[in-house]
Structure 1
Amino acid sequence: MENNSQQNETNTSNKVRIAAVADVHVRETDKGKWTDYFKEVSRKADVLLICGDLTDTGDEMEAQILCDELKACTIPVICVLGNHDFEKGRHKLIRKILQSDNVHILDGECIVIKGIGFAGVKGFGGGFDNHMLSMFGEGAMKAFVQEAVDEALHLERALARLEQENEGIKKIAVLHYSPVSETVRGEPEVIYPFLGSSRLAEPLERKKVIAAFHGHAHAGKMEGKTANGVKVYNVAKHILLKEGYTQPYFILEV
């Protein structure tokens, strides 16, 4: 894994190059801003993951701008939605606008591209490790925890489907919220419960995922792992730029 400025444009190995970014926060004023970016990613990678917060304010016009910009991308694109995409309650419309033969928006679904299985969910908050919120107390608190439980179950089922239909396949998880505390370090600890949940790590370990990608924590850390060693990458655009990437995308060869 190298800084993307050093990646060869021609893939001479049998490995699949997975580019990943999160939190692109496309705005209505971004017309033309992303075209060169998507052209470059298409030269350097075989698949592109966009891990949520595709739009800035959850507006369908922002989604349309991103849709137009993505026409410059000549490799398959896999996305999940983020919390910003839900802001105006138009997330279903955003998904409809972006979904195409080349752009796949996953929400508890899975897809196989170039022999790699991808499962995607938005995920949710709830806290990490011994500080996870429990299903106890007021109805509103129980509903908050239930959302995290449901997202973890959706991820588990998508990964299980990949296993059932493709024995021995390598699996990648695409998330928006983090499954581990390690990749949110740098954010204020008081907001950890709103940045992710360890419940998302459980299916990653049970289904032996080789790597998980997420965003959301703009001030977090780029690399971490679950307790059993599953690699986790926070590919928020802000972190990649801070790490010195000439263009905000991370590449993992699988």
Structure 2
Amino acid sequence: MSENTDTITLAAIGDLHVTETSHNRYRDLFAEISDNADVLALAGDLTNFGKAAEAELLAEDLRACSIPVVAVLGNHDYEAGDADAVCRILTSAGVTVLDEQAIVVKGVGFAGVKGFVGGFGRGELGAFGEDAIKVFVDESRNEARKLENALRSLRTERTVAVLHYSPIAETVAGEPPEIFPFLGSSRLANAIDRFDNVKAVVHGHAHRGAYSGRTPGGVPVFNVAQFVVEPAFGRPYALLEI
């Protein structure tokens, strides 16, 4: 744990994909993280199918975590159509599920949303043509708006953005280029770059992506999907000094 009161150590991990057979799968890991960090951020796809039973198993393991935990949901957490139950169960285990709210922990602000697809840069899909396309793009814009509003609500000198989908193409590199538009959206980066106090962004989703990159405004971005982090560091979570 950080000894410097001006710096916190953030542990971040995404894509846990807890199933109904994942009994105690992460309990020891969360205890280990509690010894090594001040705050834990969970970057979505916490369950495999968004089932309440899966969330209950994760909540049970999270009770081994003795540090504050913030989280966002991922696309897998919506699969069963019961995302509200997943949030409720995680909240009962002491997790702050970010989306419509932001939180300050140890002097550092945390804001987050799931995010959505849409593409990056010149490849970003625009709201033109069929109504279905406009609805699709509006969902991407809405997630970016929620993130921007949450970031604006924080007055901390240091803020971390927690996402599931990526805000940049750099950290999804390694995935097939054909699916890049389904891994994130530049609209999230646009929201982040409006604020000078955002010191880091963590996300998951891209299991074969790259670990680090930067927004166009220079904010460090880290893909903390456990499948990316473990080969790089020999542990499934990233440690960041904020």
Tell me the TM-score normalised to structure 2 length: 0.97
**Identical residues among aligned pairs (%):** 49
Q: Tell me the CA shift for residue 246 of structure 1.
A: 2.7
CA offsets 1:181-224 (integer angstroms, 9 cap, x no match): 00000111111111000000011111121111000000000000
Contact preservation (8 Å) 1:75, 1:102? no
For residue 240 of structure 1, what is the aligned residue in structure 2? 229
Which runs of 5 or more structure 1 residues have no equivalent in the other structure? Answer: 1-9
Contact preservation (8 Å) 1:37, 1:247? no
The alignment of Structure 1 onto Structure 2 pairs a total of residues equal to 240
Distance 2:53 2:159 in 1: 33
Q: Which deviates the most, 27-36 or 55-64?
A: 27-36
For residue 7 of structure 1, what is the aligned residue in structure 2? none
For residue 4 of structure 2, what is the aligned residue in structure 1? 13
For residue 191 of structure 1, what is the aligned residue in structure 2? 179
RMSD (Å) for aligned C-alpha atoms = 1.1
CA offsets 1:36-76 (integer angstroms, 9 cap, x no match): 10000000000000000000111110000000000000000
Decide which of 192, 196, 212 is 1:223's aligned counterpart.
Answer: 212
The runs of at least 4 aligned residues of structure 1 exceeding 4 Å deviation read none
Decide which of 25, 41, 54 is 1:49's aligned counterpart.
Answer: 41
For residue 126 of structure 2, what is the aligned residue in structure 1? 134
Decide which of 157, 161, 166 is 1:169's aligned counterpart.
Answer: 157
Distance 2:78 2:24 in 1: 24
Q: Tell me the CA shift for residue 174 of structure 1.
A: 0.4
CA offsets 1:133-152 (integer angstroms, 9 cap, x no match): 00001111111111010000
Which amino acid in the other structure matches residue 206 of structure 2? A
For the pair 1:91 / 2:91, whether they are aligned, the reply is: no
For residue 3 of structure 1, what is the aligned residue in structure 2? none
Q: Tell me the CA shift for residue 108 of structure 1.
A: 3.0
Distance 1:242 1:140 in 2: 39
For residue 4 of structure 1, what is the aligned residue in structure 2? none
Q: Tell me the CA shift for residue 92 of structure 1.
A: 0.6
For residue 107 of structure 1, what is the aligned residue in structure 2? 99
Q: What is the DSSP-based 3-state SS (H/G/I as helix, E as strand, rest coil) of the residue aligned with 1:251?
A: strand
Tell me the TM-score normalised to structure 1 length: 0.92
Decide which of 140, 146, 149 is 1:154's aligned counterpart.
Answer: 146
Q: Tell me the CA shift for residue 161 of structure 1.
A: 0.7
Which amino acid in the other structure matches residue 100 of structure 2? G
Q: Tell me the CA shift for residue 30 of structure 1.
A: 1.2
Distance 1:252 1:198 in 2: 23
CA offsets 1:2-60 (integer angstroms, 9 cap, x no match): xxxxxxxx533231000000000011111112111000000000000000000011111
